[in-house]
Chains A and B, each alone.
Chain A
Amino acid sequence: MIVDSVTKKFSGKKALDSVSFTAGPGEVVGLLGPNGSGKSTLMRIMLGFLKPDSGHVMVAGADSTEDSMAVRRISGYVPETVELYESLTLRELFSLVARVRGLGSKYALDRLNALVDAFELVKYVDTLIGALSKGNKQKVALVAAILHNPKVLFLDEPLTGLDAFSARVLKGIIRSKASEGGTVIFSTHVMEIAEKLCNKIVLLDGGRIVIYGTVKQVASVAGGLEELMLHISGRASEIEEILRALS
């Protein structure tokens, strides 16, 4: 994947400012940054949901600004806030997704059975999605995103709401996807996850890349990702005062 000088404005305000980075096959790239730094906007541009004001994005040879359909066919996406058709059952939703993706029924069914079992969703297949907890809805969105074994995975805060077992399954899926030669782009606020899973880190702040490099390179700059994030926020020194006031 090649992101080249992507800029995006909303109502005259820059959400992204000349963002550039690459992600090769087998790499897991973490998008980090404070709230409102542009991570979700960047992800939507990479998928072709939004068009950048300038720059372009190539995903597995397809230009997402010119041929977003090609990008969406080979990629899977889970947004930060998962909204699913609440009046459908899991069975109905998965049927629809498999049909839209043009998957063969046998292949889709075998893969679906494995994923539903892995994420402990078997007993919910005939339940309306609206009745599921937030964590289970997240799992449903994950299954739908990886059903077709995508080459590229875009995950926006994927671990939110997941229990320990499902989080471990997801991490295993991310690692195996990378080992198969796929690419994973995911955003997270949990520094420890980023340090353990990612090969590269892209740190955004105010729509600009602050630091971009391997995990070791980035962590060595300020003694760890958490320290770096606090430094970016500019409020590291206030923490002790706040804690003193609360106690």
Chain B
Amino acid sequence: MKESVAITGLGVVSPCGMKKETFWANLKQARSFVDEITRFDAKLYPSRIAGQVHELDYYTHLSSRLIKKIDVFSHMALVASEQALQDARIDHTQVDKNRVGVFMGNALGGWLFAETELRDMYLEGREGISPYMASAWFPAAPQGQVTIYYGFKGYSKTIVADKASSALALWYGAKVIAEGKNDYVLAGGMEAPITPYALLSASSCGQLSKNNLNPQKAYRPYDLNRDGFVLGEGAGIVTFEKEAHARNRSAPVYGYLRGIGVSCDGYHYARYRLDPESFQYAIEECINDAGWKKEDIDYICLDGDATTIGDSNETMALKNVFGKKIGGIALSAPKSMYGNLLGAQTSLDLISTLLSMEHETILPTINYEMADPYCDLDYTPNVSRSRKIKKALILARGRGGINVVLAIEKA
């Protein structure tokens, strides 16, 4: 990164709370926010558990006139964006709107809106479909809605890359700041996959937990009895600006985005490679890009796929990259508490990592009860730990084999 890019505001819509304060307080409890799906009748689905957002309407600042035109994933993005702007003390009426951009990532688009309208189209014909359908469902809708809501006109983009979508959106957003193209960027991800069709699509990949009788125990990365990840929904948005810009206006600075590593498995449309070579490459590339040494790293926020191959492959990659040094690095997958938000996941991993830095606390990987010989690292099981974190990596992997690693440094 040519210039130091600061993260100055955090916005959270998650299954374990709205706003960074509640999100952090609930994560520290080290309990599961996964439960049976209540939004629709999911009893015939192989996986019918998820981390759902329940308080969006209570926290919204939007009019009902706008809400009915947008999918819930845009709604979540708008609420998280407002939180991030307020947290960063950015008055959107006082900025040069030509120099504020929005970089968003999601994997699926807005299916709750789309499914309802497609059903109406088949039941009622052409006139049964909402005119807002065209602008509500597609993956760039949240970016569009946020730019329209605030009138931001700067360089903006939406990235779709499965579970690495927001990782790349965050990176591109920071890069645009470093290159001086914008003064501010809102960046992050949003995903709302708890809908009949989206859940079915996610189920068909065969990677979702079917532990429906024990929802709170279902998402158990690295545990011997893991049987897949659990879906979650929500949004995480942060604000970026140049470090000097943030200091000049005495803005709060949580941390800096220092580097990225990206690779592709080039192997299969849904499965990870058995050997971790390409994942290792992304981790090494990120450390080099940040200009760090391996021993500098205090914490790694893990991918935590909770599949047999995903977790052992990740463990092997970490051991191959860090060797014996891995024993000195704190590791955890806090998403085990609230579900995997697919394209939005890295944005919440970034926020939880920044809050971990601020509170000098490593959040745990919950439901780790029985060791797997192929996953034999210390993943911070079940209980938070005190530890100072200065430098951290965040790991993200998407189906089809995209690997993205971000380097984050505490302010």
A, B assembled together: no
